Structure 1
């Protein structure tokens, strides 16, 4: 590994967007990278450095640390720590200064973050430390992206782009000295709101010099719109129970909870409970019917295939449209094929006619593909968008079933304890 040092071009200004392209991070005999670690010798900066690496981590390690099977390829940079750090500690990757920007700019990159870590892109004046003129939203889920961030045209005339890795948030600390009758406090306000504050801490009048440690509460956010119950019941499927089991009939897919097929080309193990599988030859499609997405969602799923050339494809059809669009296709098989692979695809809001999971290029009866754990997840928070809807539906079904069983088994008894039947 090698630490990412300052650009060999010094602090020459960036003239063209292509100057910021960086794929090998100054590896030997590769193009110069105009990004560097933050300089911390002359003032406050960051606390961690980025280092260049090659040869990615394993799939299992990535699934455990980053929550995704996708790994980096070629050269990449990484930053991290083995111990707990202050919530505001960060690792900053800084570009050479940009000249006056004409029009909006677009920054794209792949990223991998462990839990509680966030990454964002900021704009600052050269050498301004952590005093930013503008910052993007935080990226905490959806690894590995790509992140596509639009930098507004007027964010700053001469600026540096900062890609920063943060650990935690919401804590302000400082030293203070106050004379009698003077008080100091920390407040939160909307930009340009003057002295109209959304929240303020207690006043500090004694205890000099502190330090004051103030936890800023998470601001109130209106509840996010829930997905329709009908959508959740149509799409979410663990193949243990639910409406999705009806789609199996006549599809060529079957249900299993253990290994199927031979050891080399079959499915060696279940992921969790039951799963759906299909064997070749040919193509088999599992289709889920009409549904509505009222805000952006992540369609998540897991699949298993151990035969080269066999693939899983996902197709989407919008309501009142004849166009069937492929939104996902599994990659070529790797050196460790006998693993369940979990992935996800973003779905924009709208009305959909169907989503189809197609097992394609199954060359013979020894070719297998399995799928499991189909769900809809909030792309920002990384949690299920259907837990509440499905729990309510399950409770309602249990009540109806109990009432039905009570009606079916109800009898009248006379004083001797014998069944009493009334006929008219």
Structure 2
């Protein structure tokens, strides 16, 4: 199975990977009042916060690096609260909603806040310095060389985030490696090196500790983590069976907010008939520079390409999504509003294996409606792959979506915008972005 990444605004890449497990189990509800009180009851809860519970996670070996990407802290994430009495004293929860910017700035030094869903550990009382909340990954069977863990974070005064690794053969707390504590620099991103353990199975631990702050407005403290990404390579397993994409056309499976490792598998070859349909990589892999074939698809559509942020043009978009929260040096295609509607359509392409089409969008305000369509050869109607959800508040962040592509010939992938107020873009790797 292949994973095709198309991030509206830069390059697009193709990878071979195993699909992360789709687990329909719901998490056990937990008490979230400490987190709310730690923020002075300023958390605007969209829904009842959910406790990350070890019982809801299979705790099976991770089959592909992409499995460790976690954006929503839901049942698709391969991270959980650690088990065992006396191992930790606090828990991580799935947080939802918007945080009070003024309180966040006072507590963390930044006005940028997490958006959507995130992981949060908090206490509304002064804890012992050793009291901690530990988030642990599912086991990694064998890592080849050094890897990197990236994430966004927010911590109140004195609270520390420490990333550790421990082989499966060692008892709890006996870590093989711990990186330096993260205490400043909110909201990140943090880049933490993960050394290999000579081929031994191991797990990654995110420790939040030192909830000792004491003031009139805040006691204890909090730690927030979001957008966990793991970039590494696993030891080869020739006998490993690929996890095939389900072939249901009536109930397409989707994975939201997922990305892929940073190195493409050079052994992947996708055959197509160049006389009829272009290779899928040639059509959908795109960084929107003038030398690429895909850049020509933009001409005549009303779209423009740029390598500059849109801070002074439309919506204040500082960069693309190749690095979170953004990469100011990325390139993308965009269109300025106001416009009632506009449409950008790709050329014909051919798919020979199960693929994933990945894209990201940046909805800078509540106006505008983005829809992504797919048209198969000989089909009389387009298939609607995605439409942007309605946002109750303006949200300046990237949202990622993934949709399956099945073998066959395709007339096009098309992005349609209705009542466009801002702009849009394309991109790849961790980049591809669509901005409205």
Is TM (by shorter chain) over 0.5?
Answer: no
TM-score range, shorter chain: 0.3 to 0.5
Larger Rg: 1
Q: Using CA pairs below 8 Å that are at least 6 residues apart, which structure has the higher relative contact order?
A: 2
